[in-house]
Amino acid sequence: MSGTEVSVHVNRGAAEALEATSGTLETSASFSVLLYGHETPAHVHCRLDGDLERIASLGESNYYVEPETVTRVPITVAADAIDCPVDGRLEVLTGYGSESVSIAVTVEPGPPGVDVDESLAEPARSDPEPTAFDRAVDRCAAVTAVEPATLVVLALGAVAVGVAGLTTAMIGGPVATAGLGIVGGGVLVALFLLGQ
């Protein structure tokens, strides 16, 4: 509901008296009529006339206004459904229609709707920052035009052969030498399978 309001004083100074604080209202949204009760209670009837009746609606039309109270009458306006100003009247009546006040209402078209792409509501996904190892593999792959997986196998194979070589040098003997051969053969088999 918009903050636009128009006030009507009911039974101020005399029974069945109505007094609007403004005779006109311009809006581009829904608005309210505030019925200020004074000396005596009153039954008040509200209605929309003219073209305003096409684009606006009252939740209720009859209200009982107590003294020293404010009764809000919400009026819903479909300003986004029009493309040019619409004029009409809001009428407030009491005393079974013997007293009435009329407020000229002009509804301006609402601001044009903006289509929002639903993908804007999704949080942006950012790729994780590559590690130093990932950057080194990518650099080597770019230089040698070799698949990253092959480079990883080469790096791990080199580490494995290095460890096996150190072990052979430290322990010595035919078993350590055989182990070095098995590790080297495994690396070569892995490289051959990646090349397929």
* 134-183: pLDDT as tens digits: 776 676 566 556 666 776 777 777 788 788 778 778 887 787 788 778 88
Residue 151: how many CA atoms within 13 Å on its side-chain side?
A: 16
Q: What is the pTM of this model?
A: 0.54
Q: Using 50, 70 and 90 to split pLDDT, how confident is the model at 35?
A: very high
pLDDT higher than 60, residue 1:
no
What whole-number distance in Å separates Cα of residue 8 and Cα of residue 188? 95
What whole-number distance in Å separates Cα of residue 144 and Cα of residue 27? 71
What whole-number distance in Å separates Cα of residue 83 and Cα of residue 58? 22
Burial per residue of 61-94, b for 16 or more beta-carbon CB atoms within 10 angstroms, e otherwise: eebebeeeeebebebebebeebeeebebebebbb
What whole-number distance in Å separates Cα of residue 164 and Cα of residue 158? 10
What does DSSP say about strands 24-27 and 56-58: parallel, antiparallel, or unpaired? unpaired
pLDDT at 20: 92
Q: pLDDT tens across 21-32, in order?
A: 989 999 888 999
pLDDT at 164: 78
pLDDT higher than 80, residue 196:
no
Secondary structure element (H or E) that encloses residue 100, with its range: strand 99-107
Over range 56-77, report the average pLDDT.
Answer: 92
What whole-number distance in Å separates Cα of residue 124 and Cα of residue 144? 34
The encoded tokens of residue 44 equal 């008040």
Over range 38-65, report the average pLDDT.
Answer: 91
pLDDT at 140: 59
In whole angstroms, how far apart are CA 31 and each of 1, 28, 47, 81, 92? Answer: 6, 9, 14, 16, 15
The encoded tokens of residue 144 equal 């040698």
